[in-house]
Structure 1
């Protein structure tokens, strides 16, 4: 619609990713301190109605904003109904991927000289099953703020995000949490997390693009104190043979403690790949 903006509906990225995308630049890993597909509006999700406007109706160059609504994606119990007996939505799923009705907004500003800043906020109802699982927390909220520099072959980006009743983490059966609760839960939601993502890259004329990054998600005020859900450094590089073909190697240095109360994976991981874009 020109300066009036655009509207789309369906499976799309949540507005939190408008900021999260700036650090989603690693060759293989990354974008996982709090972001996940079908986890409210942190990543790709269903039922998103999105309005976007670039240039603030043609009045302010570089100022872009988005408004978003997400419809309910609930779960079912053994009877095939929702936990509170209301009719199922058209897209029921397991508890980690459920969400109630929610809204979000984001704004970014390109200040020129490669410098950009942005922020986003989302607020969603939680489903009956989610509230039952952790005894409360009617709303799932998140806010994020980020900075980016992209000029002179240098790429730098960082963001900070806080989530409430939103971030899912797995729980191992033999972990302290798993043994203490004596439940068959495979995971739970953190009531509050603080999340950091930082990435730095340099593009050489030869096609080589080295990358270093640090990501962390820390659960706060749990029954086991504060502990990390995600914590790793990442070192990698991409080599562009031409505009269509590239190769990469990426090494994830896991910094989680071996005695973390949820029994989360502490392995280091290396990935390599060859990419051809048609």
Structure 2
């Protein structure tokens, strides 16, 4: 792993937010940075009423230490902010881990962190307002987005200037679901691999283990091209799952994103998301939800982004639910 990939690997653990962090200390191989962002919008976003809302504000503290012999140790804590309502739950944990990266050996990290599954499945999870909903259904226990109490290992190989091969491994120990106490999660693991060349990347990830003594597994493939916000960006994600979500179901999930950054700070996008599932005793799948969103983001400054989006509910196979379109307009300020 060369120096360029080493830096990129550490930065990737922040899922993009670290690029806007402010370094407040740098001396003798040690750094400390503060980062995150606050956002606020108005619209029918989290309810059927027009209201002021937040999207996913956060605050993080990170640090790195060069310990010699090509090894860099890093640590990060990140907390979600709840600042539009009162109460005693203003901060909840999003990330908390310690990692160690070696120029040749790769990267090892322990704690609550973004998973190798997300490295592959999250390529369409880019717009601020509306994106991959299915990734965040019970993601802490299944490590489809952030994984709770997780061990990960990542290793990248560069072949020239525009070709690379990346591997990722993840493991979580046995535990009981702590919120509703409805499931016992046996130890589970995931394996991810992706190949990148000439701006395009093809990835695959497997996530498996038992939940309440039933095999719960997911296979995801993804394809992306370009860099989000800079010209054309396109991403496709397809997942095939068994018993992966609540109930004994086979399910399929798909997401498509097409975006174009105009070069003047404006980025336009359209996405489509669909989830279908069936009981193992059934012969046909039913649409759980299907939706598409038109969105625009504008960088007023490198740290201030305005956003607007309208998500169209394309319907499902549940006759008891009504179509529920959503919309929002707002701004995000990076700290």
TM-score, length-scaled by structure 1 = 0.75
Q: Is contact 1:74-1:98 (8 Å) kept?
A: yes
Q: Does residue 1:116 correspond to 2:196, yes or no? A: no
Q: Does residue 1:206 correspond to 2:307, yes or no? A: no
SS at match of 2:104: helix
Q: Is contact 1:73-1:100 (8 Å) kept?
A: yes
Deviation digits for residues 165-207 of structure 1 (CA, Å, limit 9, x no counterpart):
1123xxxxxxxxxxxxxxxxxxxx2511011100000001221
Give, in whole Å, the separation in 1 of the partners of 2:144 and 2:334.
Answer: 27
Which residue is equivalent to 1:87?
A: none
Q: 1:274 to 1:98 in 2, by over 3 A?
A: farther
Q: Would you say how many aligned residue pairs link Structure 1 and Structure 2? A: 229
Which residue is equivalent to 1:277?
A: 334
Residue 34 of structure 1 deviates from its aligned partner by 4.5
Mapping for residues 1-278 of structure 1, pairs under 5 Å: 1-36=102-137, 37-55=139-157, 61-75=163-177, 92-95=178-181, 99-112=185-198, 114-127=199-212, 138-150=214-226, 153-168=231-246, 189-221=247-279, 225-257=284-316, 260=318, 263-264=320-321, 266-278=323-335
Give unmatched runs, 5+ long, in structure 1. 76-91, 132-137, 169-188
Q: Is contact 1:23-1:159 (8 Å) kept?
A: yes
Q: 1:117 to 1:272 in 2, by over 3 A?
A: same
Q: 1:63 to 1:215 in 2, by over 3 A?
A: same
Q: Is contact 2:135-2:145 (8 Å) kept?
A: no
Q: Is contact 2:183-2:211 (8 Å) kept?
A: no
Q: 1:39 to 1:32 in 2, by over 3 A?
A: farther
Give, in whole Å, the separation in 1 of the partners of 2:153 and 2:159.
Answer: 12
Give, in whole Å, the separation in 2 of the partners of 1:265 and 1:20.
Answer: 29
Which residue is equivalent to 1:173?
A: none
SS at match of 2:171: strand
Q: 1:254 to 1:220 in 2, by over 3 A?
A: same
Q: Is contact 1:106-1:119 (8 Å) kept?
A: yes
Q: Is contact 2:141-2:148 (8 Å) kept?
A: no
SS at match of 2:150: strand
TM-score, length-scaled by structure 2 = 0.63
- The CA RMSD measured in Å over matched residues stands at 2.4
